[in-house]
């Protein structure tokens, strides 16, 4: 049996959330109000800084389910070019190098994500990956029901989908790799013999350190915000000191 490499998407293969780019595309197409777009944008910033949470993920899942209910599959498919134009520039070159390095060594690579199966398949095709596992949306007669067809590809749902791929393609998970950023993906990482933490959140960083897992770090948003905050504070302090000196002189 062959080994494989499984890559989470959001905050692992790309900076931020792919869902944000679906929201932008939907807004540009008149399918999503501006207020919801701003809410999604803020959630994306917090996701980049803190990683995923079960509560946040459940809210997104429920909101997406309610939003797509009754919409035609064709209408969402037509948003794909706009979504790709947003996602592709956010991909981490470091992770693509890792993925293509696996392929060059004869190891097939797969996206494994809580994002929809359509998103996962689209990116896997464009990136030249060997396949993908995502959350399958339920549709009847070309219209989304708002439900999911099979397990939501999150937490314990990811190993379920990975085992499906392994059985279908004759893969050995114990000999395989998995890459993710989040403690919520510990089931995914523990399902393989070679787990790798990428830009890990606090929970995953602690586990990775305790287990001696490989860790990759290159996300810079948190550091940039800290520097910006320090510069702002310094400027405010300098301005305050200048006002005091001016008042004293007067």
Tokens read off for 43 = 């959630």
Delimit the domains of the chain by residue range: 5-218, 220-250
Containing 132, the helix (H) or strand (E) segment is strand 131-135
Q: Is the pLDDT confidence value at 129 over 80? A: yes
Mean pLDDT of 37-47: 43
For the cut 90, the answer to whether the pLDDT of residue 80 exceeds it is yes
Confidence of residue 30 (pLDDT cuts 50, 70, 90): confident
Give residue-wise pLDDT tens across range 145-163. 989 898 889 999 999 999 9
What is residue 37's predicted lDDT score, i.e. its pLDDT? 43
Q: What is the pTM of this model?
A: 0.79
pLDDT for 50 equals: 46
Give the confidence band of 198 by pLDDT, cuts at 50, 70, 90.
Answer: very high
Q: What was the pLDDT predicted at 43?
A: 45
CATH fold group of domain 5-218: Rossmann fold (3.40.50)
Task: Please return the burial class of 197, using the count of CB atoms within 10 Å of its CB with bins 0-12, 13-18 and 19+.
Answer: buried
pLDDT at residue number 223: 45
| Cα 119 to Cα 86: distance, rounded to the nearest angstrom | 13
Average pLDDT over residues 5-25: 90
Tally Cβ neighbours within 10 Å of residue 228.
10
């Amino acid at each position: 049996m062959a080994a494989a490499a499984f890559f989470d998407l959001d905050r692992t293969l790309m900076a931020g959330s792919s869902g944000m780019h679906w929201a932008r595309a939907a807004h540009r197409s008149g399918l999503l109000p501006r207020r919801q777009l701003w809410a999604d944008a803020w959630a994306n910033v917090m996701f980049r800084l803190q990683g995923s949470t079960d509560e946040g993920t459940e809210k997104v899942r429920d909101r997406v389910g309610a939003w797509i209910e009754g919409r035609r599959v064709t209408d969402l498919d037509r948003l794909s070019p706009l979504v790709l134009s947003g996602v592709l520039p956010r991909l981490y070159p470091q992770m693509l190098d890792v993925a293509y390095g696996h392929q060059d060594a004869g190891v097939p690579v797969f996206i494994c994500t809580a994002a929809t199966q359509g998103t996962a398949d689209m990116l896997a095709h464009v990136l030249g990956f060997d396949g993908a596992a995502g959350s399958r949306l339920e549709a009847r007669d070309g219209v989304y029901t708002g439900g999911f067809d099979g397990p939501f590809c999150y937490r314990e749902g990811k190993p379920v989908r990975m085992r499906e791929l392994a059985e279908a393609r004759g893969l050995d998970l114990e000999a395989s790799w998995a890459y993710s950023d989040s403690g919520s993906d510990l089931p995914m990482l523990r399902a393989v013999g070679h787990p790798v933490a990428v830009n890990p959140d606090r929970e995953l960083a602690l586990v990775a350190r305790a287990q001696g897992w490989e860790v990759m770090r290159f996300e810079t948003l948190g550091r940039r915000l800290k520097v910006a905050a320090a510069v702002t504070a310094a400027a405010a302090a300098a301005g305050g000191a200048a006002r005091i000196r001016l008042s004293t002189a007067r």
